Amino acid sequence: APKAAGTLAAMEQVQHAAAGSPLRYYVVEDSPMILERMLAMLEPTGAQEAGHAAGVQAAIDWLSAEVQA
């Protein structure tokens, strides 16, 4: 939990530094339970979920499509 709290604090700092532009994030996690907990922890920060994937290849495919869009 201490590592997660530090991560959230860092994300909040990045969000505030973006001067009104909310931080967007993409989560790669293969455990549905952990993914659910991570998303619940991130929600109160105001950051916006860009998406999530259960594996690396799916994340790479998504990022490649986003860059080309």
pTM summary value: 0.64
Give pLDDT tens digits for 10-69: 556 555 555 667 788 999 999 999 999 999 999 998 899 999 999 999 999 998 998 887
Q: How many CA atoms lie within 13 A of 56 on its CB side?
A: 0
Integer-rounded Cα radius of gyration of the chain: 13
Comparing CA positions, the residue from 50, 45, 6, 2 lying closest to residue 28 is 50
